[in-house]
Amino acid sequence: MSVKPTLLVLAAGMGSRYGGLKQMDDFGPNGETIIDYSLYDAIDAGFGKIVFIIRDSFRTSFIEKFDPILKGKVEVEYVCQELETLPNGLPYIYERTKPWGTAHAVWVGHQVIHEPFGVINADDYYGKQAFFQLAEFLANDQTNNYCLIGYKLKNTLSEHGHVNRGVCEVTVDGNLSGIEECIKISEDAEGISYPGLNEEKIMLSPETLVSMNMWGFKPSFMDYTSEVFVDFLKERGHEEKSELYIPKVIDVLIKDRILDVKMIETDSTWFGVTYPDDKPKVKEQLKSLIDKGIYKKNLWA
């Protein structure tokens, strides 16, 4: 029997733009967070362990919230992302207060992850199909390769204004070759576009695949990230606001031809929350999914 994959949930953000811990805010009819729906879908898809990457300052709140819900359903670990947790005994830079970025957040999970694992953001809704696609890859892929769940751009747009998206470049073999960050993407009567250097409209197809930070990794990602992170610290560790993101590590692995990252296209619709004004829309979207019978009104009942 194959080992069930793990889901790593990036939940260490402080929600400065939201004005609080949005990953703990209620969006469902019975106080459910966005994470609740992701966990429900992940367990349904066959994930066997949940690893929360959090801060020590709200560890107790997370345990009190999720332990009663998840007990008996799935194994749970809580790992704190702290600034002083660095690879190879590297010295901690005491002047720094900003976290080291998403690659570091994943890497601190190496203490408890020894099996294939997925990565998601705590404050994003990814959709049921995407979790099943991710679980299938992690449970059945026999190569050393990773995967990225690619969302159709049209399924990630906001009614409240422009968005920034990582537009995926894909090879003829269906592998990720790069991610280009496109900012201020919006939709009007002409279609979906973003402004170029001279403010001219650069059009994008609604079917364009974008990254919403839903990855599938093998345990080797921890070792590779450690190596890249050491180099990053030597080059930019003295900068107060420098961060190492997951796509940077992936870019190194692809360019050095160490492995491939399979693009898995999903039809799931993504939505998330950044600002307080996003909350009513997210609640409305979740209510619609409940009305369609995709989730129970009382999710964990």
Best CA proximity match to 124, nearest among 39, 65, 182: 39
Q: Which two tokens stand for residue 197?
A: 């250097």
| End-to-end CA separation in angstroms for the chain | 30
For a pLDDT cut of 90, what percent of the chain falls above it?
Answer: 77
Kindly tell me if the per-residue pLDDT of 279 is higher than 50: yes
Domains annotated on the chain, with CATH? 6-291 (3.90.550.10)
Highest mean pLDDT among 18-22, 162-166, 232-236, 263-267: 263-267
Predicted pLDDT at 161: 77
Over residues 3-24, the mean pLDDT reads: 79
CB 112 within 8 A of CB 229: no
CA-to-CA distance for 54 and 9, rounded, in angstroms? Answer: 9
Is the pLDDT at 108 greater than 80? The verdict is: yes
pLDDT in tens, 49-106: 999 999 998 899 999 999 999 999 999 999 999 888 888 767 766 677 788 999 999 9
pLDDT at residue number 1: 43
Percent of the chain with pLDDT over 70: 96
Provide the pLDDT for residue 174. Answer: 97
Pair of tokens at residue 142: 């026999």
Which residues lie closer than 8 Å to 17 by C-beta, 6 or more apart?
274, 275
Q: Per-residue confidence at 288, pLDDT binned at 50, 70, 90?
A: very high
pLDDT of 88: 76
Handedness of CA 58, 16, 276, 129 (dihedral sign): negative
Q: Count CA within 13 A, CB hemisphere, residue 73.
A: 18
Query: Which residues, in sequence order, are CB contacts of 5 under 8 Å at separation 6+?
Result: 46, 47, 48, 115, 116, 117, 118, 134, 135, 138, 139, 216
Residue identified by tokens 């990773």 is: 146
- 241 close to 165: Cβ distance less than 8 angstroms: no
> How far apart (Å, rounded) are the C-alpha atoms in residues 99 and 244?
10
Mean pLDDT of 178-202: 92
